[in-house]
Structure 1
Amino acid sequence: MSTTVEQIIEQLKTLTLLESAELVSQIEETFGVDASAPVGGGVMMDPGATGAGAEVAEEKTTFDVLVEDVASDKRVAVLKVIRKLTSLGLAEAKEFTTSLPKALKEGVSKEEAEEAKTELEAAGAKVTIS
């Protein structure tokens, strides 16, 4: 492994779950890829590969937080929570709420997904975890 790759790996190890989710989101947006598709597809197509059991277990521990709908009178409160949970600016958060349903967080722990759902629902959003 090159020193550049090693340095990047070491930096990635220091990220929080929220920062990791934001990184994945930015990589998907920047490079036009979907990080969730290859993981699930790879496990399904090659269950006999080394480490496949670990990948299946990992898949069961990651969840997506989907914002289904926001009541028009609760939009401001939900925008504040969305901005708190992500690194989105006001304009991006507004745009996010106009294109629902949409995933707010992807590949997060069950605890983080439940916390986000609780906060969003308290603000007035309809949220599901998948």
Structure 2
Amino acid sequence: MSLLTDAHATVLDATVEKMRWQFRMLFDDRAAPSRTYEFATEQGLSIEILRIHRLEERRHGRFGLTDAQYESLIAALEYGYYEIPREMDMDELSDELDISHQALSERLRRAHRTLVEELVALDELS
């Protein structure tokens, strides 16, 4: 555990399955995960870093979304893109955001993928 205390890490969650530990941790500086990884491998430990997110005051940063992705998701929600039936289609929404249909489509798909990956990762931890 000195590996984590020396790095000033906060363990948010820890699980073990079939002799394999999985941690969700919070580090106080950007270089700490790299130092922790190097130290662990020098000690003969097998370590795999699955995801790194910058902790930001903005909530969407915690989920790995870019500002543009977040803004597009919020606009889609506010303008009724997700309603059934839709109150605004992709063309109208892209016009409202002043970006191309293709750019909006890719931005929303990337945002959806990121959110789903985060959800699956959280489920795997529980």
Considering fraction of residues, name the structure with more helix: 1
The TM-score normalised by the length of structure 2 is: 0.26
Greater gyration radius: 2
